[in-house]
Structure 1
Amino acid sequence: MYTPRAPSRTSHTPHSVKQISKITATIASARRTREPQDSLRGVPVEIQEAFILEDLLFVLMGIPGTHIAYHPDYIPDDGNLRGATFVVSEHLDTSLRDLIERMLPLATYYTGIAAFIEFRSHTDYGLVNHALCAAIRDMLKDYLTLISQLEHAFVSSSTFTLQKLWFYVHPTLHTLSILYALITELVRVEDPEHGKDGSDEDDDDDEDEERNKALGLGGLKAVIKDMLSASSGLVKGGEVVTILWERMRNNSGDPTTFQVYRTLLHRASLPYTQMIKIWSTAGHLRDPYDELMVKETKSINRGTLEMDFIDEYWEKRYTLRDGTTIAGAGKRPQAGVPALRTVTGRLPGGACIPPLLEGWKHKILLSGKYLNVIRECGIDIPQVAAEDDEEWVLDGEKFYKGIEDAYAFANRTLLKLLVEDQQLLPRLRAMKHYFFLSQASFLTHFLELAGPELRKPPKNAPLVKLQSLLDLSLNMNFSGEEVAFKYKEDVKVSIATSGLYDWLLKVVSLSGFTGFGSDDGGETDFGAGPSTEEERKKDKDKEKKLTTVEVLAFDFIVPFPLSLVVSRKAILRYQLLFRFILHLKHIEQCLAQMWIDQKSPTWKVTVDWHPDLEKWRRRVTVLRARMLAVVQQILGYATTEVLEPNWRSLEAKLGKVLTVDQLLRDHVDFLDTCLKECMLTNAKILKIHAHLLQTCFTFSQYSYSFNKQASQIIDAYTATGEIDIDDQHLSMEKRWAFLHKFEHNFNHYFKVSFSSLESMPMLILRPSVVEIHHDCVQFLASSENTALLALVVRLNNIRTP
Structure 2
Amino acid sequence: MQVPFTPRPRTGGRKNKLTLSAKEYTKVTGTIASVRRNRQHFNDEDDYRGSDQIEPSFIAEESFVRAPLNSRVISGLSAPSPKGKEKEERMDDMPLEVQEAFILEDLLFVLMGIEGTHITYHEEYSPEDDDPLEGVRFVVSRTLDPSLRDLVERILPLATYYTAITAFIEQRSHLDFGLVNHALCASMRDMLKDYQTLLSQLEHAYNSSSQFSLQKLWFYVHPTVHTLSLIYQLTLELATADQSPADSSSSSDDDLDARNEALGLGSAKLSAVLSGIDKNGDSSGIAVKGGEVLTIIHDRLQNMYGDPAARTLYGTLLRAAGRPYIAMLRTWTRTGKLNDPYEELCVKEAKFINRGTLEMDYTDEYWERRYTLRDGSTVSSSDKRHHAGVPAPRPVSGRLPGGACIPPLLESWKHKILLAGKYLNVIRECGIEIQNDATRPDETQSMDDEEFFKSLEADYAFANKTLLQLLVKDQELLPRLRVLKRYFFLSHSPFLTHFLELAHSELRKSAKSASLVKLQSLLALSLGADAHGDDMAFREDVRVTMMGSVLYDFLIKIVKEKGDIGGVPAQEDGAESGGEGGGSHARREKEREKEKAPLSAIDALSLDFAVPFPLSLVVSRKTVVRYQLIFRFLFHLKNIELALSGMWLEQKAGPWRAVAAADSDFARWRGRVLVLRLRMLTFVQQLLAYVTSEVLEPNWRVLEGKLERVQTVDQLLRDHVDFLDTCSKECMMTSDVKLLKAHGKLVAVCQMFAVFSSAFTKAAHLALNGAETKEARDKRWDTISRFEINFDQWFDLYLACVQLNASRENVALLPLVLRLHSVKRASSS
TM-score normalised to structure 1 length: 0.88
Query: Equivalent residues in 2 for 1:562-641 (5 A)?
Result: 562-641=615-694
1:704 maps to 758
1:259 aligns with one of 305, 312, 315: 312
CA 1:73–1:408: 2 relative to 1, 3 Å = same
CA 1:154–1:35: 2 relative to 1, 3 Å = farther
Equivalent-residue separation in structure 1 for 2:127 and 2:552 (angstroms): 75
1:715 is the counterpart of 2:769 = yes
CA 1:146–1:559: 2 relative to 1, 3 Å = same
Worse-matched range after superposition: 494-503 or 89-98: 89-98
2:183 maps to 131
1:482 maps to 533
Q: Deviations over 1:371-406 (max 9, x none)?
A: 111111121111566754634321111110110000
For residue 661 of structure 1, what is the amino acid of its counterpart?
A: D
Checking the alignment, whether the CA contact within 8 Å between 2:468 and 2:712 is kept in structure 1 is yes
1:780 aligns with one of 798, 805, 819: 805
Worse-matched range after superposition: 392-401 or 290-299: 392-401
CA 1:543–1:609: 2 relative to 1, 3 Å = farther
CA 1:322–1:207: 2 relative to 1, 3 Å = closer
Worse-matched range after superposition: 546-555 or 376-385: 376-385
Q: Shift of the alpha carbon at 1:208?
A: 3.6
1:737 maps to 782
Q: Shift of the alpha carbon at 1:233?
A: 1.3
Aligned CA-pair RMSD: 2.8
2:705 maps to 652
CA 1:695–1:216: 2 relative to 1, 3 Å = closer
For residue 664 of structure 1, what is the amino acid of its counterpart?
A: L
Checking the alignment, whether the CA contact within 8 Å between 2:304 and 2:311 is kept in structure 1 is yes
1:326 maps to 379
1:178 is the counterpart of 2:224 = no
For residue 197 of structure 2, what is the amino acid of its counterpart?
A: T
2:431 maps to 378
1:765 maps to none
2:256 aligns with one of 207, 223, 227: 207
Q: Between the two proteins, what is the percent identity of the paired residues? A: 54
Q: Deviations over 1:240-266 (max 9, x none)?
A: 111111111221111111000000000
2:150 maps to 98
Equivalent-residue separation in structure 1 for 2:39 and 2:697 (angstroms): 106
Checking the alignment, whether the CA contact within 8 Å between 1:450 and 1:469 is kept in structure 2 is yes
Q: Shift of the alpha carbon at 1:62?
A: 1.1
Q: Shift of the alpha carbon at 1:411?
A: 0.6
Q: Deviations over 1:673-692 (max 9, x none)?
A: 10000000012211110011
CA 1:30–1:187: 2 relative to 1, 3 Å = closer
Q: Report the count of equivalent residues.
A: 746
CA 1:28–1:649: 2 relative to 1, 3 Å = closer
Checking the alignment, whether the CA contact within 8 Å between 1:69 and 1:86 is kept in structure 2 is yes
Equivalent-residue separation in structure 1 for 2:28 and 2:822 (angstroms): 123
Equivalent-residue separation in structure 2 for 1:299 and 1:368 (angstroms): 18
SS in 2 for 1:797: helix
For residue 96 of structure 2, what is the amino acid of its counterpart?
A: V
Q: Shift of the alpha carbon at 1:535?
A: 3.0
Equivalent-residue separation in structure 2 for 1:448 and 1:228 (angstroms): 59
1:510 maps to 561
Query: Equivalent residues in 2 for 1:273-672 (5 A)?
Result: 273-328=326-381, 333-382=386-435, 388=441, 390-478=443-531, 481-511=532-562, 513=563, 515-517=564-566, 529-530=575-576, 532=585, 534-541=587-594, 544-672=597-725
SS in 2 for 1:158: coil
Equivalent-residue separation in structure 1 for 2:37 and 2:330 (angstroms): 64
SS in 2 for 1:553: strand
Q: Shift of the alpha carbon at 1:209?
A: 3.6
Q: Shift of the alpha carbon at 1:571?
A: 0.6
SS in 2 for 1:319: strand
Worse-matched range after superposition: 614-623 or 22-31: 22-31
Show structure 2 runs of 5+ residues with no match: 1-21, 44-84, 577-582
For residue 132 of structure 1, what is the amino acid of its counterpart?
A: L
SS in 2 for 1:145: helix
Q: Deviations over 1:461-504 (max 9, x none)?
A: 011111111111122125xx433222111111110011111111
Checking the alignment, whether the CA contact within 8 Å between 2:238 and 2:288 is kept in structure 1 is yes
Checking the alignment, whether the CA contact within 8 Å between 1:189 and 1:235 is kept in structure 2 is yes
2:61 maps to none
1:754 maps to none
CA 1:567–1:210: 2 relative to 1, 3 Å = closer
1:42 is the counterpart of 2:105 = no
For residue 787 of structure 2, what is the amino acid of its counterpart?
A: F
Q: Shift of the alpha carbon at 1:219?
A: 13
1:89 aligns with one of 138, 141, 144: 141
Equivalent-residue separation in structure 2 for 1:714 and 1:656 (angstroms): 66
2:51 maps to none
Checking the alignment, whether the CA contact within 8 Å between 2:328 and 2:338 is kept in structure 1 is yes
Equivalent-residue separation in structure 2 for 1:331 and 1:438 (angstroms): 43
2:107 aligns with one of 49, 56, 64: 56
2:56 maps to none
For residue 119 of structure 2, what is the amino acid of its counterpart?
A: I
Q: Shift of the alpha carbon at 1:46?
A: 1.6
Checking the alignment, whether the CA contact within 8 Å between 2:488 and 2:627 is kept in structure 1 is yes
For residue 529 of structure 1, what is the amino acid of its counterpart?
A: A
Checking the alignment, whether the CA contact within 8 Å between 1:187 and 1:194 is kept in structure 2 is no
Equivalent-residue separation in structure 1 for 2:214 and 2:569 (angstroms): 72
For residue 582 of structure 1, what is the amino acid of its counterpart?
A: F
CA 1:742–1:560: 2 relative to 1, 3 Å = same
Equivalent-residue separation in structure 1 for 2:308 and 2:569 (angstroms): 52
Equivalent-residue separation in structure 2 for 1:336 and 1:387 (angstroms): 34
Q: Shift of the alpha carbon at 1:82?
A: 0.5
Checking the alignment, whether the CA contact within 8 Å between 1:232 and 1:341 is kept in structure 2 is no
CA 1:274–1:707: 2 relative to 1, 3 Å = same
Checking the alignment, whether the CA contact within 8 Å between 2:739 and 2:801 is kept in structure 1 is yes
Query: Equivalent residues in 2 for 1:58-73 (5 A)?
Result: 58-73=109-124
CA 1:447–1:194: 2 relative to 1, 3 Å = closer
Equivalent-residue separation in structure 2 for 1:54 and 1:85 (angstroms): 18
Q: Shift of the alpha carbon at 1:44?
A: 1.8
1:121 maps to 173
Q: Shift of the alpha carbon at 1:207?
A: 3.3
Q: Shift of the alpha carbon at 1:543?
A: 5.3
Equivalent-residue separation in structure 1 for 2:281 and 2:87 (angstroms): 48
Checking the alignment, whether the CA contact within 8 Å between 1:588 and 1:632 is kept in structure 2 is yes
Checking the alignment, whether the CA contact within 8 Å between 2:358 and 2:366 is kept in structure 1 is yes
Query: Equivalent residues in 2 for 1:143-154 (5 A)?
Result: 143-154=195-206
1:795 maps to 820
For residue 65 of structure 1, what is the amino acid of its counterpart?
A: G
Show structure 1 runs of 5+ residues with no match: 1-15, 718-722, 752-771
Q: Deviations over 1:741-761 (max 9, x none)?
A: 21111111112xxxxxxxxxx
For residue 175 of structure 2, what is the amino acid of its counterpart?
A: T
TM-score normalised to structure 2 length: 0.85
For residue 753 of structure 2, what is the amino acid of its counterpart?
A: F
For residue 76 of structure 1, what is the amino acid of its counterpart?
A: P
Equivalent-residue separation in structure 1 for 2:171 and 2:748 (angstroms): 73
Checking the alignment, whether the CA contact within 8 Å between 2:805 and 2:813 is kept in structure 1 is yes
Equivalent-residue separation in structure 2 for 1:499 and 1:351 (angstroms): 45
